[in-house]
Chains A and B, each alone.
Chain A
C-alpha cells in the first residue's frame, strides 16, 4: 500500500458508487481543521480556525503538498467554536452537496467540458476537533469514539482523572494468559469480556438520528 486508493475505504466507496468511480476525473477530498493563533502574543488569546480541503487524486509525492491545499473557509475567533462549528461549515457542506451532484467543469488537457463530481472522504483533525466534528464528545469516561460505550475506563479516586488502565485486556484473544492474571493488572480480577463491538454505519445512524443538529 502506498496511496489511500489502496485502502479499503477507497475501494468500498467505489463499490458503493460505481457511477462515481468510472470517471477518473472525479475528485476525492479530505478536510482538515485546526486552531492557530494568528498574532504571536499569548497575552491576548485569539484563535482562528482555517478549514482546509485537499484532493487525493494525485500521485503520492504530490498528495498533501502546499500547492494542493485549498483554504475554503476561516472561522473567526477569538474563541474555540466548539459545537457551533457546524454553523460555520454550512456553506461548505452546501457546496459539497452540489459537487456530489456534479458541476460543469472545463478539462484543459482535452479542451472539453465535463461533469465533475467530488466527494469528501474523511476529515483529519486533532483530538478536541474530532469531538466537535463528530459530535461525540471526546473527553471524560467515554472518550474513545471507536469503543464508544463499551470500553470501561474509570475515574481514579485520588488523581481524579480518567484512567484507561486495564481496558486493553479485553482486546486479547480469549485464551491469552494475561486474561487470567490476577496480580499484574487490576487486582483480583479476571478478564472475561469479549472485545468491544464496533458499531456499523447503520447502527451508528440509528443512534445518531435522534439527536438535534446544532443549527
Chain B
C-alpha cells in the first residue's frame, strides 16, 4: 500500500455522534462494529480484549479499603447506600433510624473498624519497612492526623491488596475478614508467576462464593462493575496466560 499520499486515503476525523441504534442500553450496548473485525483472523481469536487486572485490582482495593476504613466522602457505605438498603435487603440493623429529636442515626456497620483500630492500622502502615524497590515509601502516603492514604500508586495498591490487607483488617469479625482475605488471596494467586490450569478452575469456582459472601456483608451500593470482574479474570488467565503479560504496568511506566 502506498503510504506516500495517505492524506488522500484516510477519511478525516469528523465530529459524528456514535450511532445509537435501537435498544441501546436496554437489550445491548453495541455502539459500532470495531475496526479489529477487519482482521481476517480476529473472529477465531479466543480472547480479543483483556480485562486489565491492574485496574480491577486497584479499584476493588480502593472500594474495600475506603469502605472498611469509613473514609468520609469516599466510602461506599454512605447515607444513600443505607437508604437503598431498606429497599433491597433484609438488614434491620443497618437501616437508618430516625430519632425522636428528628436527627437521622446511621448505625455503625460491623464491617467498619473503630476509631482506635483505624489509628492502629494507619500507624502500622506508616511504620512498615519494605524491601528496597518493592513498594514506594508508604510512610509518605499516610496522613496520621486526617487518617487518610494519599498519593498511592497502583503498584502500592497491588502490594497492599495482596500482602497487607488480611493482616491490616485482622480486627474485623471473622465473617467479614474471611471474604476480604479470600479476595486478597485470589489476586495473589492470579498474579503468581506459575499458574496451573486446575488451580485456575478451582479459583473460578471459589471467587464466585467469595463474591457472594461479600454480597452478604456490604450494602448494594458497594457493588459496582469492578466488583463483578474478578469473576471473569480466572477464565481469561486460563485462556490467555499470565496476568503479567496481559496487564498495563509495563505500559504505564
Contacts and interface: CB of A to CB of B under 8 A. Distances in A.
Interface of A: 1-10, 12-13, 16-17, 30, 32, 34, 52, 54, 56, 63-66, 69, 82-84, 86-91, 93-94, 96-98, 100, 119-127, 130-131, 133-138, 140-146, 148-149, 151, 153, 156-169, 171-172, 178, 182-188, 201-202, 205, 207-209, 211-215
A214 B248 contact: no
A85 to B, nearest CB: 8
A180 to B, nearest CB: 13
Interface stretch (B26-34, B97-105, B117-125, B130-138): B26-34
Nearest to A15: B44
Interface centre among A8, A10, A34, A202, by most chain B C-beta atoms within 10 angstroms, is: A8
B45 A9 contact: yes
Contacts of B223: 163-165, 167
Nearest to B59: A127
Given A135-B30, A158-B83, A146 B215 contact: no
Contacts of A4: 240-242, 245-246
A91 B3 contact: yes
Interface string B143-169: 000000000000000000000000000
Interface centre among B1, B228, B235, by most chain A C-beta atoms within 10 angstroms, is: B228
Given A130-B49, A172-B209, A100 B41 contact: yes
Contact of A133 (B36, B224, B232): B36
Those 8 A-B pairs whose CB atoms lie nearest each other, nearest first: A4-B241, A7-B241, A165-B220, A86-B35, A9-B46, A135-B34, A158-B83, A83-B18
A215 B197 CA distance: 41
Contact of A144 (B90, B229, B238): B229
B193 interface: yes
Given A34-B248, A52-B251, A165-B220, A142 B28 contact: yes
A30 B16 CA distance: 29
A151 B221 CA distance: 17
Interface centre among B35, B48, B80, B221, by most chain A C-beta atoms within 10 angstroms, is: B35
Given A63-B245, A211-B21, A172 B212 contact: yes
A131 B46 CA distance: 18
Contact of B212 (A87, A141, A178): A178
B28 A183 contact: no
A34 B43 contact: no
A143 B13 contact: no
Q: Dominant SS at the B interface?
A: mixed
B228 A168 contact: yes
B188 to A, nearest CB: 16
Interface centre among B10, B34, B50, B219, by most chain A C-beta atoms within 10 angstroms, is: B34
A17 to B, nearest CB: 7
B8 interface: no
Nearest to A92: B35
B25 A142 contact: yes
B211 interface: yes
Contact of A143 (B1, B29, B80): B29
A82 B19 CA distance: 12
B246 A157 contact: no
B194 to A, nearest CB: 6
Contacts of A157: 83-84, 87
Interface in B58-98: 80-81, 83-84, 87-90
